[in-house]
Amino acid sequence: MIELDGVRKEYGDVVAVQDLTLSVGGGQFHCLIGPNGSGKTTVFRLLLGLARPTAGTLSVEGGTVGCGFQRPNFYPDLTVRENLQVFAGLVGSPSREWRETVVDELRLRRAMDRPAHDLSGGFARKLDLALGLLKRPDYLLLDEPLAALDDVSKERLLDFLSSYADDATVLVSTHHVGDFEPHTDRLTVMHEGTVVLDARPEHIDLDGHASLQAYYVALVRQQEQAASDRDDDARQPGRRPGAGGE
């Protein structure tokens, strides 16, 4: 399991994540959702060891971690094949067969000999995902994996990730839960650096909303309103809580 316990991360004066306690693992398709600036990417960077918590503890036990980045990370001057070779060597890719499977599943074969800097946005995303999958990680962390993908590629990737989640944990960061809804085993909603909801989708009461996406949007708005009210109270110290209005 990956365990975050009371984690706080500050960048200068900005608190990106505060008092975050979360367990990730157990072979599930886990969606981390939240608006821009909610702290999702910071959580990913913490999980990947790219950032250090300002406070709290973080532990990764029993497995390897692979990742797909929000901004594709590969060598632009190398070809797709060369990138795959370099990183397969670096991560100790389990087998050549697995590498071939990844290439086929992500439909990268016809781009193998193209320089990576020539790839379209969609292919660049696929190459980044392929690099994250090379070591067949126990925890696959993907930051906005569907960005720049066409609808057909999205469906194909979601099917692949769904089956991958049978044997491993897939943690996806996004602000469009709709694409992932049919596949998601667990949903964690973040807002302003804290977790405001963590539940299995079937346990969430949509409260009259037509979809999980609509429910999420309403939840975020509610959080924003609450934050705004808190700010107003802070600006007017003499005002009693709940004593506003008419």
What amino acid is encoded at 214 in this protein?
A
Beta bridge pairs of residue 172: 31, 142
- Under rule CB under 8 A, residue 55 binds another protein: no
Q: Which of 36, 52, 240, 242 binds another protein (CB under 8 A)?
A: 52
Q: How far is the CB of 242 from another protein (least distance, A)?
A: 43
Q: How far is the CB of 67 from another protein (least distance, A)?
A: 6
Site for another protein in 131-160 (CB under 8 A): 131, 135
Q: Which stretch binds another protein (CB under 8 A): 50-58, 104-112, 200-208, 222-230?
A: 50-58
CA distances from 213 to 30, 102, 224, 228 (A): 15, 30, 17, 23
The two tokens of residue 217 are: 């949007």
Site for another protein in 6-45 (CB under 8 A): 45
Q: d(Cα 56, Cα 109) in Å, to the nearest integer?
A: 44
The two tokens of residue 193 are: 């650096």
Give the single-character DSSP code of 240.
P
If we measure between CA atoms, which residue out of 188, 187, 144, 140 comes closest to residue 167? 140
Q: How far is the CB of 134 from another protein (least distance, A)?
A: 9
- Under rule CB under 8 A, residue 94 binds another protein: no
Q: d(Cα 40, Cα 16) in Å, to the nearest integer?
A: 9
Q: How far is the CB of 42 from another protein (least distance, A)?
A: 11
Q: Which of 74, 123, 139, 216 binds another protein (CB under 8 A)?
A: 74
Q: Which of 16, 39, 84, 87 binds another protein (CB under 8 A)?
A: 87
Contact 133, 66 (CB under 8 A): yes
Choose between 52 and 110: whose C-beta lies nearer to another protein: 52
- 224's CB contacts (< 8 A; 6+ apart) are 191
Choose between 66 and 201: whose C-beta lies nearer to another protein: 66
| Phi-psi sector, 208: left (phi>0), alpha (psi -120 to 50), beta | left
Q: Which of 51, 165, 195, 220 binds another protein (CB under 8 A)?
A: 51
Q: Which of 14, 90, 199, 227 binds another protein (CB under 8 A)?
A: 90
Sites of contact with another protein (CB under 8 A): 45, 48-52, 65, 67, 69, 73-77, 87, 90-91, 131, 135
